[in-house]
Amino acid sequence: MNARGNLIALYTITRREVARILRIWSQTLLPPAITMALYFVIFGSLIGGRIGEMHGFRYIDYIVPGLIMMSVIQNAYGNISSSFFGAKFQRFVEEMLVSPTPSWVMLTGYIAGGVLRGLMVGVIVLGVSLFFTRLHLAHPLVTLSTFVLAAAVFALAGFVNAVFAKKFDDIAIVPTFVLTPLTYLGGVFYSVDLLPEPWRTISHANPVLYMVNAFRYGILGVSDVGLGLAYGVMLGAALALGAVAMVLLKRGVGLRA
């Protein structure tokens, strides 16, 4: 298959992923809108008014970037883990495995699906947030690049999870016991500068912290971490997870006997 053939295969996988997201919109697009609206009401309007300012911003304005990033991360991860595991479970992943589609095209197509779901959910949550705040993008390029990188990192992580998963429980464990704690402790609701030691230092081992803060820098112009370091962490995680995913695909782990 030549380069054009690879592009057609990539387009096909991505299109199929998007069709799936839209087909089950009540499971993929609606829940984040409702959840985030509740976060905005409770943490922003009700409690936020009593908290005061953080880094010179109203509390609700301060948490909006983190909440958008939280939705993006969870949905990019959830999309690929459930979609790819579903393909394994129903065995229609074999349609791709017996075709000449190269592993990297397969992976890129699924990652694109995860990133696009993250984008759709991000835009929806952003739209919801506008009912509660007025946002100005301080650095649009940083916002966009952080969004794509973070979504790609967690889509890759979701892919690795789906490759190893043998039952549906296996794709629910990581979001519940790893992803949610990492996100909640990743500075979505607070600045890590408020934490006492050693928690402040420990928090810097959490990759979500860099994503949330880079995104917050893109929207509000403030961050708890250096932008260069944040990009380094995101790029490093993307490359490492990408390499792992490619090795797993090439070896056919969980896919070929």
Partner 1 sequence: MSQPALEVIDLRKTYANGVQALKGVSLSVEQGDFFALLGPNGAGKSTLIGILSSLVNASGGEVRVFGRSVQRERRAAMQMIGLVPQELNFNQFEKPWEICVNVAGFYGIPRAVAEQRAEQYLKQLSLWDKAFVASRTLSGGMKRRLMIARAMMNEPRLLVLDEPTAGVDIEIRRSMWKFVSEINRAGTTVILTTHYLEEAEQLCRNIAIIDKGTIIEHTTMKRLLAKLDVETFVFDLAGGAGELPSVDGVRLTRVDDHTIEAEMARTHDLNSLFAALTARGITVTSMRNKANRLEELFVRLVESNKSGAAA
Complex with partner 1: residue 5 or 236, whichever CB lies closer: 5
Pick the binder of partner 1 from 79, 101, 203, 213 (CB under 8 A).
101
Which region, judged by CB under 8 A, interacts with partner 1, from 13-21, 49-57, 131-139, 224-232?
A: 13-21
Contact letters (x/-) for partner 1, 15-44, by CB under 8 A? xx--x---x---------------------
User: Does the footprint of partner 1 cover residue 180 (CB under 8 A)?
Assistant: no
Give the tokens for residue 194.
């408020």
Least distance in Å: CB of 206 to partner 1? Answer: 36
Q: Which is nearer to partner 1, 19 or 34 (CB)?
A: 19
Q: Is 257 near partner 1 (CB under 8 A)? A: yes
Binds partner 1 by CB under 8 A, chosen from 22, 27, 42, 99: 99
Joined tokens for residue 192: 């890590």
Stretch that binds partner 1, among 45-53, 58-66, 86-94, 136-144 (CB under 8 A): 86-94
2 near partner 1, rule: CB under 8 A: yes
94: contact with partner 1 by CB under 8 A? yes
Per-residue burial over 184-216, b = 16 or more CB atoms within 10 Å of its CB, e = otherwise: ebbbbbbbbeebeeeeeeebeebbbbbbbbbbb
Q: Which stretch, 11-19, 118-126, 133-141, 158-166, contacts partner 1 (CB under 8 A)? A: 11-19
Q: Which residues pair with 54 in a beta bridge?
A: 57
5 vs 226, beta carbon nearer partner 1: 5
User: Taking Cα atoms as reference points, which of 53, 153, 88, 73 lies closest to residue 119?
Assistant: 73
Considering the rule CB under 8 A, would residue 247 count as an interface residue with partner 1? no
The reply on whether position 249 binds partner 1 by CB under 8 A is no
Residue 250 in contact with partner 1, rule: CB under 8 A: no
Q: Rule CB under 8 A: is residue 87 a binding residue for partner 1?
A: yes
Binding residues for partner 1, rule: CB under 8 A, are: 1-2, 4-6, 8-9, 11-13, 15-16, 19, 23, 87, 90-92, 94-102, 252, 256-257
